[in-house]
Amino acid sequence: MSTSKNTNESLRERELAHTSGVYPTKDVAMVRGKGAHLWDADGKQYIDCAAGHGVANLGHAHPRVVQAVSNQVGTLTTLAGSFPNDQRAEFQERLTAFLPEGFDRVFLCNSGAESIEGALKFARLTTGRPGIVAAQRGFHGRTMGALACTWDKKYREPFEPLIGAVQHAPYGKLDGFAELVGDDTACVIVEVVQGEGGVRLATPEFLRGLRALCDERGALLILDEVQSGFGRTGRRFAFEHYGIVPDILTMGKAIGGGLAMGAIGLGPGVCELKVGHHGSTFGGNPLACAAGNATLRTLVEDRLVERAEELGQWFRTALGEIDSAQVREVRGLGLMVALDLRCRVAPVLAALQERGIIALPAGPTVLRFLPPLIIEKEDLEHVVKAVGEVLAELTVEGAAR
Ligand SMILES: *Cc1c(COP(=O)(O)O)cnc(C)c1O
């Protein structure tokens, strides 16, 4: 092990020596975060508009999360799910209070994919049916069940056969879903806003139509809000924009204030669960629950959901005013925002990183922003200006070629 001073270069080399290889390795190493900012190993500061793919809704090292985790780590970190615990009891109360009426049961797990796995099991258990209908362009995670529901062949095909009985219909096309949902369908699973699939919003007709279709055919509606939940879209959950509720809600990413956590919300349409039906060693551990308690308290008391709505409106309008032929469309909800480009996104992301801004792709031509909900408007103003400059430069370079 090297004991000399860490640099972007040295950390990259050390990681590459032992990595599995599944992650593209970037050229900067991030070593510290505070609020909406990150610092690399060479000391350069960045505005973080990725927030760990929508994990850091409260920003990095939020004082309340730091305090809660620090206290709990010296008190009790791990405990089997069969023993009740003060942090878990409080978290289950806070989470069910944060969910719509009727969601008075939750299963706690450790990640988004795990929440999907449990949701699929509970839908099969409730209906006694095997079938699953998911959406084209959907993304639900990398474990076998979640992967089977994911659309992109590059994730799925090398690992087939996955769990059978998953069919995909075009996102937004109610007719396509109506063709596939039948007597053997346990559930329909979709994102309210497709994140990895390009920040694509459901229309009200589509989402309400799916709700009615599931009711009519006796299937459960699972909404995957792993990315869009916890204030990201300017509502607690994105489905609140649409006036419907799911039967099962899957949650992850931002739920634990940066700690690994996931959860499944169970509506009244889900059957009674019994001992042995499901479980998780780390699910609902006191440390994650303490972080979750601080997170939910902060989201509510600091009105961060409302903040995401207002700041997101402003941000999307400002991005829309960028005068560039490269911009096809600005879309999003709250602070889940995308710029659909006429050029490839990779060079735009690289140029933004050069200027100290971290953003995300969502497909080959979509630039995605998932900034912390606590981000200052000045930071977003800086981002808008930089995006305008980068697109102008790329246009000039493209024309010169
Ligand atoms: C990230 C994501 C997942 C998977 O979550 P992991 O914690 O990476 O397993 C599932 N669904 C959606 C919509 C996501 O964005």
109 three-state secondary structure: strand
> Mean pLDDT over residues 6-24, rounded?
95
Pocket test for ligand 1, best of 140, 143, 155 (most atoms within 8 A of CB): 140
Does the C-beta of 117 come closer than 6 Å to ligand 1?
no
Does the C-beta of 226 come closer than 6 Å to ligand 1?
yes
pLDDT in tens, 239-266: 999 999 999 999 999 999 999 999 999 9
DSSP 240: G
User: Is residue 151 a contact partner of residue 177, using CB atoms and an 8 Å limit?
Assistant: no
- State residue 137's pLDDT score: 97
Does the C-beta of 282 come closer than 6 Å to ligand 1?
no
> Mean pLDDT over residues 345-366, rounded?
98
pLDDT in tens, 68-98: 999 999 999 999 999 999 999 999 999 999 9
- What beta strand segments (E) does 211-309 contain? 220-224, 248-251, 262-266
Q: Examine residue 161 and say whether the peptide bond preceding it is cis (omega within 30 degrees of 0).
A: yes
**What distances in angstroms separate CA 195 from CA 99, 140, 183, 332, one per listed residue?**
21, 10, 30, 10
- State residue 398's pLDDT score: 67
Task: Give the orientation angle of helix 346-354 with respect to helix 377-400, to 10 degrees.
Answer: 120
b/e string for 314-325 if b means 16 or more Cβ within 10 A? ebbebbeebebe
Does the C-beta of 118 come closer than 6 Å to ligand 1?
no
pLDDT in tens, 19-64: 999 998 899 999 999 999 999 999 999 999 999 999 999 999 999 9
User: Is residue 224 a contact partner of residue 387, using CB atoms and an 8 Å limit?
Assistant: no
pLDDT in tens, 203-231: 999 999 999 999 999 999 999 999 999 99
User: How far away, in angstroms, is 270 Cα from ligand 1 center?
Assistant: 22
In this structure, which residue's CA is closest to atom 15 in ligand 1? Answer: 227
Q: Which atom of ligand 1 is nearest to the CA of 146?
A: 10
> Mean pLDDT over residues 336-364, rounded?
98
Based on C-alpha coordinates, what's the Rg of the chain?
21
Query: What CATH code would you report for 63-301?
Result: 3.40.640.10
User: How far away, in angstroms, is 74 Cα from ligand 1 center?
Assistant: 30
Q: pLDDT > 90: what percent of the chain?
A: 96
Does the C-beta of 191 come closer than 6 Å to ligand 1?
yes
Strands across the sheet containing 30-34: 30-34, 37-40, 45-48, 357-358
Q: Which CATH architecture has domain 8-61+304-400?
A: Alpha-Beta Complex (3.90)
Could you tell me the residue ranges of all domains in the chain? 8-61+304-400, 63-301
- Full-model pTM: 0.97
